[in-house]
Amino acid sequence: MEENINSNDSLAPRPTGPHISFPITSLIIGIVVAVVIVTIIIVNLAHTPTNTNQLPQESPIMPNPTTSNTAPAPTTKLNSGYEMPVLGLGTWTLDNETAENSVYTAIKVGYRLIDAAQYYGNEAGVGKAMKRAIDEGLIARKDIFITTKVMPSNYSRAYASIDESLAKLQTDYIDLLLIHQPGTNNRATYKALEQGVKDGKIRSIGISNYYTPNELNEVLSFATITPALVQNENHIFYQNTELLEYAAKDNIKIESWYPFGGRGHTEESFTNETIVALTEKYHKTPAQIILRWQIQAGYIVIPGSSNPDHIAENFDIFDFELTSTEMNDIAAINKNQRYENW
C-alpha cells in the first residue's frame, strides 16, 4: 500500500517516542513465521515413534523369510552326469507330518538334498514340503535332489512302486532311486530301476547296504547302467575306505547314513578326544567336525534330524577346512565297527 503524502504532512508533529528502524508490519510477519515453524516442529515430534514397534509394518528392513542366508551345499558329479549335493537331510524315523516340517525347514536353511524311502512311509510328507517350497518360490524343482528307495517288499513289483513314489513325492521324476538292501530278486529289481531311467522317471540309480567290493561286483555283473552311488553306514568308527576306494574306480559315490554312529552311539562319537580337540580349535560342534571330515574324505552325507537348530547346525560346515594331519588323525579312529546288520 502506497503512503499518501500531501502538503499538510509537513505540518504534522514529529513522534516523541523512541526511534524504530523497521516498519511494524515486518515485526508481525516475523512473529507469524516463528509461530508456524514452532507449530510444524511440535506436530512432527508428536508423530515421531518413540520405538521401532510404532513404525509402519513396511518400514523396517527385515530379511525375506522365503530366502536363505546360506548358500546351497557344494555338489559332486555322479557317473550319470547329474550333480548331487554333498550334504543332505536324512528322514529315517520321521513320520509324514514331521518329515514335511523338517524338510521345509531344511530347504529354508539351504539344503538341496533330501533322502527318503518307501519303507520310511514319509514320501508324501517329503513331497508336500517340496511342493510348498516350490509354490512359495524358495526353490525350483530343478534345484532340489530327491533320493528314495525301493523297499524289499516291493522288489517283485519294483517298477509299479516307482509310479507310487512319484505320486507321493508330487514330482514327475526321481533324482536318485536305490535298491534299499540286498534281497532275493536283486537282478530283476535293478532291471526295473534301469527301465525307469529309460522311461524318464528316474535320473540316477544305485544301491544301499552293499558293503564289500564283491557285493558291488555282483551288481556290476548284470548292470547295464552303472550304479551312481552306494548308500551305507559310515562313521568315524566304521570308515570302510576299502569300498570307498574301490567304487571310485567307476566314479561310484559312497553316501553315509548314520554319520554320527546312529541312535545310542552319538555320544561315543561326540566325546572322542580327537573330535573334541578339533571342536576347541575351530569353535565348532562335534557334529560339525564329523560332517566336515566325511565330506573332505569323499563321502556324501545325510544326517537326520527333526530339530530345527540341529538341522541348521549340521549345515554350517563350509566355513572351515580340516588339515591333512587332522584328516589322518580322524582316520586313525577307525575300528571297522558297524552298529547295524542291514
pLDDT digits (tens, 9 = 90+) for 213-228: 999 999 999 999 999 9
- pLDDT (0 to 100) of residue 342: 77
Q: Which residue out of 104, 111, 120, 211 is catalytically annotated?
A: 120
101 occurs within a structural domain = yes
56 occurs within a structural domain = no
Mean pLDDT of 190-208: 98
Residue 114's nearest CA partner among 92, 93, 140, 137 is 92
Give the pairing of strands 89-90 and 83-85.
Answer: unpaired
* Stated length of the chain: 342
- pLDDT (0 to 100) of residue 341: 85
Over pLDDT 70: what percentage of the chain?
80
- The mean pLDDT value of the chain amounts to 85
Mean pLDDT of 161-176: 98
- 86 near 133, Cβ under 8 Å? no
Residue 291's nearest CA partner among 270, 267, 277, 306 is 270
Taking the C-alpha atoms of residue 239 and residue 335, their distance in angstroms, rounded to an integer, is 8
58 occurs within a structural domain = no
297 occurs within a structural domain = yes
Over pLDDT 90: what percentage of the chain?
77
Contacts of residue 272, Cβ cutoff 8 Å, sequence gap at least 6: 236, 286, 333
User: Is the pLDDT score of 38 beyond 60?
Assistant: no
Mean pLDDT of 180-187: 93
pLDDT band at 21 (very low <50, low <70, confident <90, very high): very low
CATH number at residue 266: 3.20.20.100
Note down the domain range covering 130. Answer: 75-331
Mean pLDDT of 72-97: 97
User: Is the pLDDT score of 7 beyond 90?
Assistant: no
User: Is the pLDDT score of 276 beyond 50?
Assistant: yes
Helices (H), ranges, the chain = 24-46, 96-109, 123-135, 158-169, 186-198, 213-222, 241-248, 266-270, 273-282, 286-297, 308-315, 324-331
HSE-up of residue 254 (Cα within 13 Å, Cβ side): 30
59 occurs within a structural domain = no
User: Which run of H or of E encompasses 147?
Assistant: strand 145-150
Active site residue 119: no
- pLDDT (0 to 100) of residue 216: 98
User: Is the pLDDT score of 69 beyond 80?
Assistant: no
pLDDT band at 12 (very low <50, low <70, confident <90, very high): very low
Contacts of residue 314, Cβ cutoff 8 Å, sequence gap at least 6: 87, 287, 288, 291, 303, 305
Comparison of pLDDT for 237 and 342, the residue scoring more: 237
Mean pLDDT of 192-196: 98
20 occurs within a structural domain = no
- 149 near 119, Cβ under 8 Å? yes
- 303 near 260, Cβ under 8 Å? yes
- pLDDT (0 to 100) of residue 70: 66
Residue with cell 536318485: 176
- pLDDT (0 to 100) of residue 263: 85
Taking the C-alpha atoms of residue 209 and residue 176, their distance in angstroms, rounded to an integer, is 15
Number of domains in the chain: 1
User: Is the pLDDT score of 24 beyond 60?
Assistant: no
Choice among 17-31, 55-69, 272-286, 300-314 with the minimum mean pLDDT = 55-69
pLDDT band at 34 (very low <50, low <70, confident <90, very high): low
26 occurs within a structural domain = no
C-alpha distances (whole Å) from 202 to each of 119, 130, 192, 193, 221 are 18, 17, 11, 8, 21
309 occurs within a structural domain = yes
